[in-house]
A and B are shown apart, each in its own frame.
Chain A
Amino acid sequence: MTFAKLSTAAIALCLGAAVGAAALSTVAMAQGTQGTTQDTPQAKREQMMKQVGGAVGALGAIAKGQKPYDAAAVKAALTTISTDMKAFPDQFPAGSEANSAAAPAIWENNADFRAHAAKLAGEADTLLAALPADQAGVQTAVQTLGANCGACHQTYRLKK
């Protein structure tokens, strides 16, 4: 039994050394330094995503009945989503990969990434053209719009 434990431990140590070395080199490569100010593309696009999240949140509050239906608030939220999502894909210039949750796939499959943004902007525009008229309408709208969040984040945002 002791021999067994020793030999298992020996196998384990060999495996461990190999993986440890690989892990160290990965960590070394991942080290990056770049300051983030308000004007960086990273800061701008994160701000846009926060605005869109806030807009969906405003619609969500009405959908859940936490706030009363308010046509002006619904219109404002949808306008924010439409405007931001049209400008959003332009906030990823080459070299802005560092210090952000943006996945490399954004640059590798840029056309598809843009198509995701355009789909959400288009759905917001459709809803603006025929504004949801009551709580039930807003519930449907949140489901339609909300499906886009995960669909895009699944591929284009790094885990965080």
Chain B
Amino acid sequence: MTAMWSRILGTGVVIVAVAALGAWMVTKPDPHPENYWAGPGKRDLGQPDLANGEKLFWAGGCASCHAADGANGDALKTLSGGRALPSPFGTFHIPNISPDEKAGIGAWTLAQFGNAMTRGVSPAGEHLYPSFPYGSYDRLTKADVNDLFAYLKTLPKSQNVAPPHELGFPFNIRMAVGGWKFLYFTDQPRVALASADDKVKRGQYLVEGPGHCGECHTPRDQLGGFVKDRWLAGGPNPEGKGTIPDITPGGDIKSWSEADIVNYLQTGFTPEYDSAGGSMVEVQQNIAHLPQTDIEAIAAYLKSIPAR
């Protein structure tokens, strides 16, 4: 009798242990190997292009989250963190990514920065929450990561320390992020493009990668993953009240020409002279720093994706 029970119990323990081990194997933090960031890239990773790094800083909208609340002008370049980002899962407090050695990322290596950007793994080897949009930034080329990292290091230091995130159970368990990554984390293109010339491909890189447009403009399921067949089709605002527009060719901007989209991203004015609102105001002001050719590429891509 006792023997039978211990056998059953033993089998149970083994099943749980195997399941736990299996879960750990597929959900553990998975950075790129160290030599990925040192190995041969398109060009020597040791010689960053600061002008391209600044372009990525604006395309990536780093300041919209990491600069102090209400920052404008040059203050946008002090990435002190501290803003609160509300979400259905709780409130995220955005960290300091200024080059301060203690409070910011001044002591990070390129590999540590690159793995945070493209693998969602912190220097301590823990999962980062996908409120930091590494699900988009993972599309960045190594050379672009290198350029951006070098540019961020030229910005002013801040000693500000943000409070910890306020998340409810079970979202406060970082290991659970591994399950999210298992389900949703991908570096594959978001949409199949029928005819993609170099301009449209550049637009795809900017929109799906650094621009991380889909993080707001694509609706999410209950676990915070993108609804795949609704790419850029808008929906309820995950940060609070209101609705995010559908920016596919069949949506809220279907009557806009490519030139209208370019003008909007450069000036903030719609063809009817309505203006950008909400967090899009900052996004538009960031994008307006990009060269005309990049903004035209974004518009060309938005006209090439499937209408929803």
Contacts and interface: CB of A to CB of B under 8 A. Distances in A.
Contacts of A158: 237, 241-243, 277-278
Contact of B284 (A23, A49, A150, A160): A150
B20 A7 contact: yes
A11 B19 CA distance: 12
Interface in B220-275: 221-224, 237, 241-245, 267-269, 272-275
Nearest to A143: B267
A6 B19 contact: yes
B84 interface: no
Interface string A140-157: 000000100111011001
Interface in B94-143: none
A75 B278 CA distance: 30
B268 A3 contact: no
Nearest to A58: B273
Contacts of B27: 8
A3 B15 contact: yes
Contacts, number: 116
Given A11-B179, A54-B273, A158-B237, 18 more contacts: A1-B22, A4-B23, A6-B19, A7-B23, A14-B170, A19-B224, A22-B88, A101-B242, A101-B277, A104-B241, A149-B269, A149-B275, A151-B281, A153-B281, A158-B243, A159-B237, A159-B280, A160-B243
Contacts of B183: 8, 12
A4 B19 contact: yes
The secondary-structure label for the interface of chain A is: helix
Say whether chain B's binding surface is mostly helix, strand, loop, or mixed. Answer: mixed
A89 interface: no
B182 interface: yes
A15 interface: yes
